[in-house]
Amino acid sequence: MVTDFRFPDLGEGVVEGEIRKWLVKEGDDVKRDQTLAQIETDKALVEMPSPTDGMILRLYHAEGDVIKVGEILATIGEEGETPVPERKSSVSVVGELPEAPETVVKPVPETRLAAPAEPAILATPAVRKLARDLGVDISLVEGTGPEGRILEHDVRGFKPVEATVPKMRPRFDFYGYVERVPVRGVRRVTAKRMIESQTRAAHVTSMDMADVTDLVALREREKEVAQRQNIHLTFMPYVVKAVVEALKAYPILNSTFDDGAEEVIIKKYYNIGMAVATEEGLLVPVIKGADQQTILELASEIQRLTDLASSRKINLADLKGGTFTITNYGAVGGTYGTPIINYPEVAILGTGRIVDAPLVKDGEVRVRKVMHLSLSFDHRVLDGAEAASFLNEVKKHLENPGQLLASKPSEA
């Protein structure tokens, strides 16, 4: 039995994906649940399993192609069967694409185009009428019926292939040679989302700095405890904890903006996203229920999500549901930044590297450990005064880390 595999609706608003790698080729025998391809969907790399046993009869797309939900990816059947597009509901599996030879449209005489129903074309009047209704040139359709007869599904499944001349892009400009790099995968998705955020939100960035001398000392003491539990303790759990406490004090920042209804949707839960740099670009895993976790629990969850994101094995669900995002460009040496809001959230906090700086404390100039903070927010939702108050609340908890340890996780 011939089965067409279409790119499934994975939920979470996914409408397209990019084929990153085919794990099979035409002519391969496959088993049910065998992974056929890896597809990049909404920043997640998803492995698509075969729902049935059989042979790969045809692959319809190449690696790097961007496909829409519902498009046929591969046909699976038995040896000797012919791929026949079927009008069936989407199957929750994907197929793959082989190196198919180039298809060239044969020149068709104008007289034939004007009279597609000439005797040489084997098709019933009903099939001819269907072709006319669908705007299909029946003379270009390859029939799969007896003696090449054109059947209804041949017409419905026909996709014209235009003979196009490859676009020649110069490898040099007026000044010298250049290299063209296709924007694909995570970088492509990120680019689209950044433009969406910049055009749909009114960005403003407020900056400040926190004296984290005591936090640095505390973290050094707690690192040994964490290591005994195989947990890598960074400063991020403390920042997450401070942000959660600040969001409780200023809930307007723990929200999304509904453009259509012109409403601010304040979330009563705390799912904190954190930007993670990978070789493909930035991913934003989300720590669910951050208010219900201790510092070490947060550290363990951050470590898990970071490892999954870096290896591109993270689940799509781990990238959804955020209410507020933190980006730590300090990890790569950055100090200040103007982070772009993870739309439709209304704010994002950027944390810079911790540096030694002279500060006046108790009337004396002392060298202290300082962390720079940058809060980008949607000015449609809140004003500078609220943003500054939120930053002050974050600073208060970072500068008094004992309060973070004393604060107990919220009741579930």
Residue 274 structure tokens = 């954190």
Dihedral sign (CA 371, 338, 392, 289)? negative
Residue 104 pLDDT: 40
Sorted by sequence, the CB contacts under 8 Å of residue 44 that are 6+ apart come out as 314, 315, 316, 319
Inter-residue contact 234 to 412 (CB < 8 Å): no
Inter-residue contact 369 to 354 (CB < 8 Å): yes
Residue 285 pLDDT: 95
Residue whose tokens read 């100090």: 335
Phi then psi dihedrals of residue 391, to 5 deg: -60, -40
C-beta atoms surrounding 157 within 10 Å: 17
Cα angle 72, 127, 80 (rounded to 5 degrees) comes to: 50
Residue 14 pLDDT: 73
Residue 44 pLDDT: 74
Domains defined for the chain, CATH in brackets: 3-77 (2.40.50.100), 110-156 (4.10.320.10), 186-406 (3.30.559.10)
Please report, as a single letter, which amino acid is at residue 358.
Answer: P
Query: Could you give the angle at which helices 384-399 and 236-249 cross, rounded to 10 degrees?
Result: 130
For the chain, 412 residues long, give each residue's pLDDT as a single digit of tens: 788 888 887 766 677 888 888 999 988 998 888 899 988 876 677 888 887 888 888 898 888 888 888 888 889 888 777 766 544 443 333 333 333 344 344 444 443 444 434 446 788 888 888 888 888 888 888 888 777 788 888 888 887 665 555 566 778 877 888 888 888 777 887 888 888 898 889 999 999 999 999 999 999 999 989 999 999 999 999 999 999 999 999 999 999 999 888 899 999 999 999 999 888 888 999 999 999 999 999 999 999 999 999 888 888 889 999 999 999 999 988 999 999 999 999 999 999 999 999 999 888 999 999 999 999 999 999 999 999 999 999 999 999 998 777 666 664 4
Residue 92 pLDDT: 39
Sorted by sequence, the CB contacts under 8 Å of residue 275 that are 6+ apart come out as 282, 283, 284, 325, 326, 327, 328
> Rounded distance, CA 280 to CA 20, Å?
12
So which residues are the catalytic ones?
379
C-beta atoms surrounding 18 within 10 Å: 20
pTM higher than 0.75 for the full model?
Answer: no
> Rounded distance, CA 168 to CA 120, Å?
39
CA atoms within 13 A on the CB side of 156: 9
Residue 400 pLDDT: 93
> Rounded distance, CA 83 to CA 144, Å?
9
Instruction: DSSP letter for 95, please.
Output: -
Residue 167 pLDDT: 63
> Rounded distance, CA 249 to CA 256, Å?
17
